[in-house]
Structure 1
Amino acid sequence: MMASYNNNSGGYMDYSFDNSINNTNTGYAKKPLGEQTMRPLTVKQIRTAVSPQEGTIKVDNSNVTQITFVGVIRNIQELTTNYVYTVEDGTGAIDVRKWVEQSETPEEADARRTLLVDTYVRVNGRLNSYNNRISVVAHSMRPIVDFNEITYHFLDAIQTHFLFVKPGSSVHAPRNDAMQIDGPSSVNNIRDRVSQAIKDYDNSPEGANIEKIFQKFQGMHTKSEIEDAIEFLMEDGQCYSTIDPNHLKSCLS
């Protein structure tokens, strides 16, 4: 069972992985799952989304409009009617547009002032496509106060990805899809060792320092080999950067 985010409470609502059930009370067909629910995504997934036709955006070959993701604000551009936030999550960066209402209440203004550079935020919004360029318009943005939420989000995004590309699969199941990049066993061993080294820092708020990982495997693996392993783990959704690109935390339980 997957979960969608409730914008009002921040919690979850269960829904069935079935986009063909009709509503017997109203007589209309439900919208496809991707359009009806809020998809947890990474910035890389957002940036690689495709728009095969006007008004349609696909991730994992499924229609999607409402999305949620987490990241850190790297830049803020204040315009007349809206703010543009550059948000980065370790897999990439994307601009998020947040419109400012003329009738903004004092509470809304106070909430907006908490969105500062280097602040980790949760973004709930909508994907738009114009001239084959995907953009994000935020319905809401709020600071993250519990950093476990970052880990939970990445795990949720990974699990949701597999439910769409392989219904019934799990993040631990063997996979042969396009996300898998197989190589020699020695390469896989390096990745496993680096992944475990990152996971050893689960109790640290900042995560593992990459320099510490280099030192740990000095004489065993070259710096280039470790960097390649880290790049693979990040692209595969197994880890993410925290306070800066040189600190990593594992997404694996």
Structure 2
Amino acid sequence: MDYGKSGSGYMNTSFDGSNKTSSGFTRKPMGEQTLRPLTVKQIKGCSIPQDDLYRIDEADVTQVTIVGVIRSVQELATNYIYMVEDGTGAIEVKKWVEQSETPEESEARRLLLPDTYVRVNGRLNSFSGRISVSGHFIRPITDFNEVTYHFLDTIYIHLTFVKPNGGTAMEIDSAPKSVNAAVSDFIQKYDPDSQGCTAEQIIYKFKDVYNEQEIRNAIEYLENEGQCYTTDNNEHIKSCYP
């Protein structure tokens, strides 16, 4: 999938400039063909120039994928409403109940409990100025790396649209990260060292971005989350990631 800019917001080289594919079939609008990774904040900040038309970074968006944690579940007769929060905001995800739900689908739905991290694929929807996601597919996340990857993906795609040339590798690499993610990434770079890196090395690395207390809070958070551990002493930290 190519997320480059075009008149409709996306580029797909399998199509020409007309509304037909090379095989002669009528194509759907580009916003209908693509699945864009987004944060809740991006979704809530989108513009709606007309009914059923949503634009983010001046690109049409309809099909979206988000990652977050379920904060509440409301069971109704015809649908389930999940409040999903990703750290940038919370949004309602509505999943319609299938009349012919299979036992496997029913079992999968029972796994979608509060405090569960999930991947949601769906379609943007709005009613009375309130935007939500109509979920086509919702599944629990079993590898937390998927959460990190998703946010990096949203940054990369955002830069692809807002930068004239799609953004350079350096710009993408230096895109804003949370202090926890930045510290975690730095610690991982010292994986070959049996002692890991020191807190002082981390503080010096980010001295122009975060103060010492923010860094130490991040280290404590990562330790509590099982993402890093101390080695020779409390000042030497090593990542738990391979």
Unaligned 5+ residue runs, structure 1?
4-13, 182-190, 204-212, 230-240
Which residue matches 1:199?
185
C-alpha distance in 1 between matches for 2:39 and 2:144 = 16
CA spacing shift, 1:63–1:39, aligned 2, 3 Å: same
Select the structure of larger CA radius of gyration: 2
CA spacing shift, 1:92–1:228, aligned 2, 3 Å: farther
Structure 1 position 226, deviation (Å): 7.6
The one-character-per-residue Cα deviations of 1:109-168 (angstroms, maximum 9, x if unpaired) are 100001111111100000012222211110010011122111221121111112222353
The one-character-per-residue Cα deviations of 1:212-249 (angstroms, maximum 9, x if unpaired) are x9xx86xx98xx968999xxxxxxxxxxx99x9x9999
Which residue matches 2:88?
91
**One-letter code aligned to 1:163:** T
Answer whether contact 1:19 1:33 (CA < 8 A) is retained: no
Aligned partner of 2:60 among 34, 58, 63: 63
Which residue matches 1:23?
21
Aligned structure 1 segments of 4 or more residues deviating by more than 4 angstroms: 191-196, 224-229, 246-249
Answer whether contact 1:49 1:134 (CA < 8 A) is retained: no
Q: Cα RMSD (Å) of the superposition?
A: 4.1
CA spacing shift, 1:196–1:115, aligned 2, 3 Å: closer
Which residue matches 2:69?
72
C-alpha distance in 2 between matches for 1:64 and 1:168 = 20
C-alpha distance in 1 between matches for 2:117 and 2:25 = 43
Secondary structure of 1:152's match? helix
C-alpha distance in 2 between matches for 1:140 and 1:116 = 15
Answer whether contact 1:18 1:33 (CA < 8 A) is retained: no
Unaligned 5+ residue runs, structure 2?
4-10, 190-198, 216-220, 229-242
C-alpha distance in 1 between matches for 2:140 and 2:65 = 13
Q: How many residues align?
A: 200
- Tell me the TM-score normalised to structure 2 length: 0.66
**One-letter code aligned to 1:48:** G
Which residue matches 2:32?
35
Answer whether contact 1:56 1:63 (CA < 8 A) is retained: yes
C-alpha distance in 2 between matches for 1:172 and 1:93 = 30
**One-letter code aligned to 1:92:** G
Structure 1 position 33, deviation (Å): 3.0
Structure 1 position 196, deviation (Å): 4.3
CA spacing shift, 1:82–1:193, aligned 2, 3 Å: closer
C-alpha distance in 2 between matches for 1:199 and 1:93 = 26
Q: In the TM superposition, what are the counterparts of 1:160-179 in structure 2 within 5 Å?
A: 160-166=157-163, 168-170=165-167, 172-174=169-171
C-alpha distance in 1 between matches for 2:226 and 2:181 = 13
State the identity as a percent.
48
Which residue matches 2:119?
122
**One-letter code aligned to 1:166:** K
Which residue matches 1:102?
99
